[in-house]
Structure 1
Amino acid sequence: TRTQPNRGPTLTPRPYIPPENLPPVHLVPIEQLERDLQEARRQQYNARNRYESTLRKPWLAHWVDTRRFEMRGYNNALVTAHGRLDERLEHDAQMEAERAGVDLRAVRQREQARVRARLVEEGREREPQVEAQRAEHPVREREQAELEAQRGEAERPAREREQARAQAQWEERQEHNAQMEAQRYEDRRAREQEEAWARAEFEAMFFQPVAQPQRQPYAHNHRWIQRLLGDRNMAKALSFVFHLVLGVGLGVLLRMLLPAPLGSGSLQRYILRVLR
């Protein structure tokens, strides 16, 4: 397989640093604004992917907040880029209108006034019919109102009784619902507990436990070692040197061990001299 290029330390946080002063929109070419929007989209996509992949890896749990914070920053940047492009388009439209001698604001106000007038017209057309109907039936309306009042007076105690009964029923039903809800909650808790136990037993039978993220108490010392070993080429060079030293040492040891035709039997001679 081809060796993958070193993408650098992927875990370094990449916060969104907002630029301190953006130039006003009408001074920036519109292509630049579109490129900025594309870039903001890309960055937001990357930040969201980073956040989601961190969520998927339990051993990076302590990175999740950082990633979420980053993602929020890039979301805001994307919103800003959209806003700037819209502002620029608005500004261009205004300039165009001014060049053509049209007052955009007046046009918009005229449109709004036309809509409002249409609504008022429709309202006015509906109004006279209602007036005519009202003039036709004032007497009947009055009689009807009196009848309604009498019937209401007669029905009031029954209605109050009905309301009290409905209220009692409603309270009873609420209480029953609360009890059932509590019962369901208890059942669900018990079931989830059982499932968790079963899953834990199953995993204990088959799987190794997932490695929890470990604190490295001395990680802030020897930063230079981390930096050295974090660089891939340097790590390769160091491992090559280590292998070289190991190989030379083993070669010398083997040469001292082996007897005369293959090596110098110096180790044997030394041992014999000591024993003699």
Structure 2
Amino acid sequence: MDFTSQFWIYLILIGTVLSLLFVVVLAYQNRHTGSAANETTGHVWDEDLTEYDNPLPAWWLYLLYLTVVFGAVYLVLYPGMLPNGGFLNWTQLGQYEAEISDANQAYAETMEAYGQSTPSELAKNPQAIKTAARLFSQNCALCHGSDARGAPGIPNLRDDDWIYDSSPDAILTTILDGRYGVMPGWESVLGGREASEDVANYVLQLSGEVVNVDSAKRGEAKYKTICAACHGIDGKGNPLLGGMNLTDRIWVHGGSFEQIVDVIANGVTNQMPAYRNILGKTKSKLLAGYVLSISD
């Protein structure tokens, strides 16, 4: 049976009403015990400790009745007993939208001023950066980390290495429209695993690492034929294509020999989602300003 069918709604409703009535009836019947004054229940503990058979105190009963009435009224006013939000027509979504509307009105003037500023100007505005830090925490920290230092496969936003350029406009474009990067696997094109290792040695040589010179020499020719189109002849990358700089010893997907060989042989795919429809341009500008403010 479908859990969202009307059957479950009425089952819960009937159970709730019967439970409230049962509590009231039980308490009402126990307002008098029918026992004589100072008569005990017959229970004895530790030889001489007994329990009096006294009725429930009146104040306790009245408080219980008041609690039951409050509960019943609450369930009728709010979506407890009646469908469609109760008499007040309250819903979680409606309250959320009302609070968002109130917040937008309260911050409209401030956000309008932010919207007229550039990311570079916002990066120098302490109050704007406080707001942007909260936006980063809510929207970006899941991937880039709370400290913005990234993770394997996720760029570090605090260093001076930029895949798609470090200009404020480029950063804003990345946030607004996202990025989709593909590094194809080249093992079959290069001629096998050993050829991928040759190219990896040459790539490490570009970054100043000590490598197998003979292997790097063989990899150089393959690099200039296949890889230079995106990463450049000198290995410094191509921001227009998202080709990473291979000379600065900053490795998004790991810098060990085995990891580099794996990337060359099998390729990688990365996607930065677009936030234009989620945050809008003003909040995206704030995030761009925040990224500029924390980068070295």
- TM-score in same-fold range (> 0.5): no
TM-score (norm 1): 0.21
Q: Which has the higher contact order (CA 8 A, sep 6+)?
A: 2
Structure (1 or 2) with the greater strand fraction: 2
The structure with the largest alpha-carbon Rg is 1
TM-score (norm 2): 0.20
